[in-house]
Structures are given as C-alpha cells and as structure tokens.
C-alpha cells in the first residue's frame, strides 16, 4: 500500500505540474503545432501544403507528416493543442523510461538513471512542447526500433528482423532524420530491416495521393523539395541552429568555407561511426550505443538542426550516466561540467545577454560533440 500510495502521489503531482506548465507557459504558444494543424486541414481538402505566403511558418515536412494531423484538424484548435500536449508529455515519460531500460540491459535502473537524464535534457523537452513539435514522438518510434533490433539480435535474426524496419520506415517518413540509419543497416547487413523500412517509406510517399491524386502528389513532393532547398540557406545563422554547418557559419561568416569545414567534420564523424561499429564486433550488445550515437548525430549533421532536437540524444545521455563509474576522474569532471552547461544554459537562468552570446557561438554544438566523444570512449574500451 505504501508503494501504491507513493505512486499515486507522484502521478497526482505530475498531473498538477504539467497542467500548470501548460496553462502558464504553453497554451498561448505551440506555434509549430498550429502550422501542422493547418497542414492537416489543407491536405484533407486537397490544398497544397507549401504556400509561399505562409513565410517563415510554411509547412516544411513531407506530405505524409500532414496526414498525422488530419484527425486533430476536425477538432477546434484549442482542443487539438491540449490533446497534442498530453501526447507529448506521455511520450516524454515513455522515452526516459525506455532509454533507461535499453541502457541498463532491461535491469531495474538506478535512481541516477531516472533522475539525471531528465534534468540534463529538460530544457529541450520543454521547448519541444512549447512549440508543439513532433520530434519526441519520432524519437520514441526510433527508440522502439532500437529495442526491437536488440531483441532481434538476441533471437539470432542475423539478416535483420522486419519489425524494427517498419518502425524505422515510419519514423523516417514523418521526418527524414531517420535516414541516418540507412547506411547503418547497409554496413550491418540488416537486409530484412532495411527492406521493410523502405516499403513503409514508399507507401508513405504514395499515401497522400488519396487526397491529391498520383499526379498531384508528385507536384506536391516537388514543391516540398523546392521550398526546403530555398529556405535552408537563410536559416543557417539562426541562433537556435546548432548544426555543424551553422557552427562554422556563425564563427567564420563565410558560407563557402563553412561548407568545406562542415563537410570535413561530417566526413570525420562518418569514419568515427564506422570505427565504432567495427569495434562493436567484440562487444556483447553493440546496438544500443551505436544507435544512440546516430540519434545524437541527427541534429548535428542536419543543416536545420534546431537546439530542441537535441532531445534525441536521450539514449546517449542515459548510457553515459549508466556508465559513469567506468570513466576516469578527469573524464568524470569533463562529463559533469559538460552536462551542467547543457542543463543550465537556459534563457531564464543566465539572462538574455549571456544566453544570446551562448547560442550565437553555438556552444551546444561543442557540448554534444563531447557527448559523442564520451560514447566513443566507452566503445573503444569495450564497456558498451
């Protein structure tokens, strides 16, 4: 009864806490959700999603993504926002729980495993909810894919189980970020996973034809590619962009040089990922760390890597916290300082001036390159 009482109190506190946050800080915002809600309205009546008069608030994702908002588009906007916020809160809790399970090998997690990852990454999740984005849901789908990959490996499905492929295809169809796993499946020879995922992607590309017709769907896909290529260069120096290309753009103010430097860094990271995969052949369970590395790389290598998409590093941060005791004292100091900077670099904490400088210098890019380094250290020492 005592445990049940504590659980009830915790649930009640959580409901009050998240309701208060919604009423005080989020309800009047959720600007990205409004864009996606409008996309749901447009696609169900066969209207193009990519309209130049929308300006900065133009829908930027594949037409399939808009289909997810069609059911909500039948509701009043305020009701739809409330439901979406509740879904994001629930998926966030599931994400941290699932990351703990994967990082600990399905064992009961320590208190640190349940406490520190949410504290370190809280600001990214809060910002995601404030905007009403969908990255939390996409990350949950990809983490379910990771868990399914691990289960398939344990069952000895050498060519790759199809279940994880279906999840990967769904995640990639909603946001193309997921295609970072395409070369991973090739290197790992996960043909079943890869094939199943590509089937889902193809079906997702064709599904909007129900509203536009086949010819109209092709037109809308071309509009998506065109508007995305036109809007990307103007956003590379945005303070909230923490991608590697944005990092060099902010520091050099030279676009051509920045692309060269970013290309070199991304190339080096690709070689590093390959080395991590090869080193994983002698590790009992290599999948969790490899996939956490790829998820962390998504916002860094995507030209439009917004700071809040760093929430996708949840598995990486959880693995590092789980293996804290295995690091040397100097490494623990770097780890602690790095996580403190990530957690405390909040507008309301350090003030507008320092926060502006912090984001203009793209310090978060460095912070998460350090996270990648800490993961690589675990792999080369055969600890994860």
Contact 308/127 with Cβ under 8 angstroms?
yes
Distance of CA 269 to the CA centre of its chain: 18
156 has a pLDDT exceeding 90: no
Distance of CA 12 to the CA centre of its chain: 28
253: left (phi over 0), alpha (psi -120 to 50) or beta: left
- Rounded CA-CA distance 263/10 in Å is 47
Contact 160/188 with Cβ under 8 angstroms?
yes
What are the tokens at 10? 């915790």
* Ranges 23-37, 58-72, 157-171: which has the least confidence: 157-171
- Rounded CA-CA distance 146/364 in Å is 25
| pTM strictly above 0.85 | yes
Q: What's the pLDDT at 158?
A: 58
345-304-274 Cα angle (round to 5): 90
On average, the pLDDT of the chain sits at 91
Q: What's the pLDDT at 69?
A: 95
| pLDDT tens per residue across span 279-306 | 998 888 899 999 999 999 999 999 989 9
122 has a pLDDT exceeding 60: yes
| DSSP-derived secondary structure for 48-111 | -S--GGGGGG---S-HHHHHTTHHHHTS-HHHHHHHHHHHHHHHHHHHHHHHHHHHTTTSPPPH
- Rounded CA-CA distance 246/242 in Å is 6
| pLDDT tens per residue across span 302-323 | 998 999 999 999 999 999 999 9
Say what the alpha-carbon torsion angle 68, 233, 358, 96 is, to the nearest 10 degrees. 20
Mean pLDDT of 6-26: 80
Q: What's the pLDDT at 185?
A: 95
Contact 338/367 with Cβ under 8 angstroms?
yes
Q: Which of 203, 202, 205 is nearest to 217 (CA)?
A: 205
Q: Which residue has the higher pLDDT, 157 or 173?
A: 173
Q: What's the pLDDT at 112?
A: 85
What are the tokens at 28? 């009047």
**% of the chain beyond a pLDDT of 70:** 96
């Amino acid at each position: 009864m005592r445990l049940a009482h504590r659980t009830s109190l915790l649930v009640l506190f959580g409901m009050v806490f998240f309701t208060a946050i919604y009423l005080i800080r989020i309800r009047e915002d959720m600007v990205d959700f409004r864009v996606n809600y409008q996309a749901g309205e447009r696609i169900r009546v066969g209207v193009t999603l990519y309209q130049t008069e929308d300006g900065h608030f133009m829908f930027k994702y594949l037409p399939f993504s808009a289909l997810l908002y069609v059911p909500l588009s039948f509701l009043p906007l305020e009701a739809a926002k409330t439901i979406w916020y509740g879904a994001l809160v629930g998926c966030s809790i599931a994400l941290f729980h699932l990351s703990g399970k994967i990082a600990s090998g399905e064992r009961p997690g320590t208190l640190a495993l349940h406490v520190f990852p949410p504290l370190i990454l809280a600001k990214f999740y809060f910002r995601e909810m404030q905007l009403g984005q969908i990255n939390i849901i996409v990350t949950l789908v990809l983490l379910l894919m990771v868990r399914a990959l691990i289960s398939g490996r344990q069952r000895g499905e050498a060519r790759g189980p199809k279940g994880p492929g279906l999840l990967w295809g769904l995640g990639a169809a909603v946001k193309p970020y997921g295609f970072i796993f395409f070369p991973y499946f090739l290197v790992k020879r996960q043909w079943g996973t890869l094939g199943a995922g590509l089937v889902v992607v193809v079906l997702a590309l064709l599904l909007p034809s129900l509203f536009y017709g086949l010819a109209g769907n092709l037109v809308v896909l071309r509009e998506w590619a065109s508007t995305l290529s036109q809007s990307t260069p103007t956003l590379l120096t945005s303070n909230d962009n923490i991608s590697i290309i944005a990092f060099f753009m902010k520091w050099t103010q030279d676009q051509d040089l920045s692309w060269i430097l970013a290309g070199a860094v991304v190339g080096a990271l690709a070689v590093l990922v390959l080395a991590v995969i090869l080193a994983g052949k002698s590790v009992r369970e290599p999948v969790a760390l490899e996939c956490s590395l790829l998820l962390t790389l998504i916002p860094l290598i995507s030209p439009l890597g917004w700071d809040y998409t760093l929430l996708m590093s949840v598995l990486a941060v959880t693995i590092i916290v789980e293996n804290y005791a295995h690091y040397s004292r100097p490494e623990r100091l770097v780890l602690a300082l790095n996580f403190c900077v990530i957690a405390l670099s909040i507008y309301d904490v350090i003030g507008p001036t320092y926060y502006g400088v912090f984001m203009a210098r793209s310090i978060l890019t460095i912070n998460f390159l350090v996270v990648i380094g800490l993961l690589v250290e675990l792999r080369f020492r055969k600890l994860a």
